[in-house]
A and B are shown apart, each in its own frame.
Chain A
């Protein structure tokens, strides 16, 4: 089975809140002191792919679209024993929305070859839009299944388990297919072995510019208009503390419940 996993490099979402800053003029997050990390759901996707490869023969290609620093997420994937890695370098380094990203990824995938399974994280920890997977399937003209947390290979395709509000759904699907991956207890990303980290530095990474995959600035601009960020702000966090009065504990509980109900109603 040929698997392609899309990975996104994002600002570390685990930084302390007061270290988080935005560049309001450009409507994007400011780098500040934050490190760059692989988006967690992308890591879940890679982990799911690695587990699938352990059970069914196959090859894993890791693909990312981003600035040159995004090569780090590919090195990490190679350290985890992804077979191939490809970076589409975004020289402009501007904010790209889901539609642009899907367009670029689709072009790169077409050039990379045929894949049975294209795996994308459910959403990214920076913008949390959760659109890229679906839009990518659209671009490639493939069916897609979202919120998948487990995959098994079958004779003529795959059996997928997807999370829904009501529980799990089991989906049988034929390939090729795009899936978006969410997390569960079984796809907690593994960590690489030290020797593999050292070896990964020597493995080749395909490095393409947008021109290498025949995407022009006009294409990008056109795709980008599908979505526009109008403003960006950090919500102000306020805390109000209120003590419920009452003569007895029962009274207090009663008053507490009523107050709670009124808050819920007004919200």
Chain B
């Protein structure tokens, strides 16, 4: 009878809390555990609340989608294969085990008989056991990475070691408990717990049922102590990310990558830019606590790759430790009635550590590779720019060559101090119509300073203008009325100058009744597309790669001969990563050559910066630490004959880089418009 009943799966179950008496002690201990953990969480929440407002709860549908993608499915985390896999295993393993424990709680403490039948067998026994094994596999992989592979991007702290040991001990003791219970109770359903049955059999081979029963009792309490210990301690460690990461992913910035810099209200701002913890938004502060120290941001940072000080990971971690050390809520608003001459930060950040030094901050090319790669949606870049702003606008202390660029922007409307060219030189002898000549142009060709005032790029600009003429596009240029869009000013940190230039340009374009702007510079493109709308400038904005692809598609341009050369494509950061345009240039190149372009390992949204963004193209980098040379090596490794680009800054940076490192290899740099003009059918 017993045997029959036991073999009826509908009746399958186990004795819950077997071998354990005085379980009330556990509940007693749960109280201080939750108090300690709660205090830890509350303390951090209070710190975030000390930050400035930020609207991050709009568009809930989009946000929930992000959470599904990056929390439940772990898409961003899985981009790093090894770490992604073990994190996935641990993530779902621990969730499953937590659910299993909750099931026990419901069954035992609420006396709801749910641990029974097929649910018990398939889920509570088999599934949970398998997921537990996978979680343990994850722990093993984690240990291999942290202790054997030891990648440079990780942070090696005692805390991480202890957390790893604790996870191992909790999972390990869990399996022992399961195995010993099966052994001692001769559980007829034991086979449904594959790991449990193995441990059961192995244990029975070396110990008696009595010994195992005693050990079970001891280890049960030990296991419980470990779990409670972890719960209490977690909010004080990087495991806080269990809470903060999903929250951070939910409250991520939903704007396009290139549109995430904050605006400043110059009338009321306490200081222009940020140099005190509480000046960051609550979301910035939450970012700090969401960091898991995975180091991906620093490993993809171009400045860090070539050996510079800048490390986005350490900027976040150093800010986090400043946040830890300071009680933001305690800030006493001391006002002696008089407006101080200079802003005095309550919790200063710039220069507090080497990673937060002004020098490091100005090494950033604003390429946003860090933001793109972060699995928990931390925004390193806007914080770097916030701090740069303080250096530029409040202190006027930043690299001399960037100062020259800013002064030139102020006085001349372009950042190239000492250029020998003027705005219209490139168009000489070409009969390019200016806005005065054309009534209602289809598009306004915004040439950009990079396209007009740099010798090398005149060729690209001429090619583009020729293509437009060839296609019969009714276009015009602003000519001498054109000035910088303000992108370099904004990236360097002079928001005031950016706003001045932007407002002026919006005014000019509105005066001429411009609806559609075409540009070959991704920096201009990004500014028009993502930043001008916030200042009242709504124009249709087109990058020449998408526009040219469109002209081909419409049959307005036909390609004559297939280009013979092998071509690789370098994605400009402000085109690919910041604005998601990666297909159009490839489509053109495919049509030009008949095959897909050669790809560098880092391409598309994961592209590696040419080194010219963020005002860095105006700065002489140390000869042994040049981002463009690093990228040039990557380009040369494709063995392509031509490197196609879609940005005037990338053109010059890559050309200089390739010439410096090519040795006896040959590679020419051409804008996509140049490559196209060579093969297009001409009349």
Min C-beta distance of B365 to chain A, whole Å: 22
Please list 30 pairs of residues, one from A and one from B, whose beta carbons are closer than 8 Å in the complex, sorted by A's number.
A12-B412, A14-B408, A14-B412, A14-B417, A15-B422, A16-B419, A16-B420, A16-B422, A16-B425, A17-B420, A18-B425, A33-B422, A33-B480, A35-B411, A35-B412, A37-B411, A190-B396, A191-B396, A191-B407, A192-B396, A193-B393, A193-B396, A194-B272, A194-B393, A194-B394, A194-B496, A195-B272, A195-B393, A195-B394, A197-B496
Whole-angstrom distance between the alpha carbons of A188 and B400 in the complex? 10
Chain A 182-216 interface 0/1 with B at a Cβ cutoff of 8 Å (1 = within): 00000010111111011000000000000000000
User: Are A12 and B494 touching (Cβ within 8 A)?
Assistant: no
User: Are B407 and A19 touching (Cβ within 8 A)?
Assistant: no
Return chain B residues, CB-CB under 8 Å to A14: 408, 412, 417-418
Min C-beta distance of B383 to chain A, whole Å: 19
Whole-angstrom distance between the alpha carbons of A188 and B412 in the complex? 19
Whole-angstrom distance between the alpha carbons of A19 and B392 in the complex? 31
Chain B residue nearest to A35 (CB atoms) is B411
B287-332 contacts to A, CB under 8 A, are none
Min C-beta distance of A22 to chain B, whole Å: 17
Return chain B residues, CB-CB under 8 Å to A194: 272, 392-394, 494, 496
Min C-beta distance of B378 to chain A, whole Å: 28
Min C-beta distance of A41 to chain B, whole Å: 16
Chain A 149-172 interface 0/1 with B at a Cβ cutoff of 8 Å (1 = within): 000000000000000000000000
Whole-angstrom distance between the alpha carbons of A15 and B413 in the complex? 12
Whole-angstrom distance between the alpha carbons of A12 and B419 in the complex? 12
Return chain B residues, CB-CB under 8 Å to A17: 420
Tell yes or no: B150 within 8 A of A by CB.
Answer: no
Contact (A191, B403) CB under 8 Å given A37-B411, A197-B496 = yes
Return chain B residues, CB-CB under 8 Å to A37: 411
Which 9 residue pairs are nearest across A and B when measured between Cβ atoms? A194-B393, A194-B496, A16-B422, A193-B396, A19-B422, A16-B420, A35-B411, A191-B396, A191-B403
Chain B residue nearest to A17 (CB atoms) is B420
Question: Which of the four size classes fits the interface of chain A?
Answer: 10 to 19
User: Are A18 and B422 touching (Cβ within 8 A)?
Assistant: yes
By CB atoms of chain A within 10 A, which of B393, B395, B403, B418 has the most?
B393
B185-229 contacts to A, CB under 8 A, are none
User: Are B411 and A191 touching (Cβ within 8 A)?
Assistant: no
Return chain B residues, CB-CB under 8 Å to A195: 272, 393-394
Return chain A residues, CB-CB under 8 Å to B567: none
Write the residues of chain A forming the contact surface with B, with a CB cutoff of 8 angstroms.
12, 14-19, 33, 35, 37, 188, 190-195, 197-198
Min C-beta distance of A74 to chain B, whole Å: 16
Chain B 13-35 interface 0/1 with A at a Cβ cutoff of 8 Å (1 = within): 00000000000000000000000
Chain B residue nearest to A188 (CB atoms) is B400
Min C-beta distance of B454 to chain A, whole Å: 12
Chain B 371-414 interface 0/1 with A at a Cβ cutoff of 8 Å (1 = within): 00000000000000000000011111000100100111001100
Return chain B residues, CB-CB under 8 Å to A197: 496
Whole-angstrom distance between the alpha carbons of A163 and B219 in the complex? 85
Min C-beta distance of B484 to chain A, whole Å: 13
Tell yes or no: B421 within 8 A of A by CB.
Answer: yes
Whole-angstrom distance between the alpha carbons of A193 and B398 in the complex? 11
User: Are A198 and B420 touching (Cβ within 8 A)?
Assistant: no
User: Are B407 and A193 touching (Cβ within 8 A)?
Assistant: no
Return chain A residues, CB-CB under 8 Å to B396: 190-193
Tell yes or no: B266 within 8 A of A by CB.
Answer: yes
Whole-angstrom distance between the alpha carbons of A14 and B392 in the complex? 24
Whole-angstrom distance between the alpha carbons of A194 and B400 in the complex? 17
Whole-angstrom distance between the alpha carbons of A247 and B554 in the complex? 60
Chain A residue nearest to B271 (CB atoms) is A195
Whole-angstrom distance between the alpha carbons of A35 and B417 in the complex? 13
User: Are B421 and A16 touching (Cβ within 8 A)?
Assistant: yes
Whole-angstrom distance between the alpha carbons of A56 and B411 in the complex? 32
Whole-angstrom distance between the alpha carbons of A47 and B412 in the complex? 22
Return chain B residues, CB-CB under 8 Å to A33: 422, 480
B402-455 contacts to A, CB under 8 A, are 403, 406-408, 411-412, 417-422, 425
Min C-beta distance of A198 to chain B, whole Å: 7
Chain A residue nearest to B389 (CB atoms) is A194
Min C-beta distance of A26 to chain B, whole Å: 23
Return chain A residues, CB-CB under 8 Å to B494: 194
Besides the known contacts A14-B412, A19-B422, A194-B393, 13 further A-B residue pairs in the complex with CB atoms under 8 A apart: A15-B412, A15-B422, A17-B420, A33-B480, A35-B412, A37-B411, A188-B400, A190-B396, A191-B396, A191-B407, A194-B392, A194-B494, A198-B266
Return chain A residues, CB-CB under 8 Å to B406: 191
Whole-angstrom distance between the alpha carbons of A15 and B421 in the complex? 8
Return chain A residues, CB-CB under 8 Å to B419: 16
By CB atoms of chain B within 10 A, which of A17, A190, A194, A195 has the most?
A194
Whole-angstrom distance between the alpha carbons of A12 and B406 in the complex? 15
Whole-angstrom distance between the alpha carbons of A118 and B396 in the complex? 27
Min C-beta distance of A197 to chain B, whole Å: 7
Whole-angstrom distance between the alpha carbons of A16 and B414 in the complex? 13
Min C-beta distance of B116 to chain A, whole Å: 71
Return chain A residues, CB-CB under 8 Å to B480: 33
Whole-angstrom distance between the alpha carbons of A90 and B95 in the complex? 81
Min C-beta distance of A195 to chain B, whole Å: 7
Min C-beta distance of A119 to chain B, whole Å: 21
Min C-beta distance of B11 to chain A, whole Å: 77
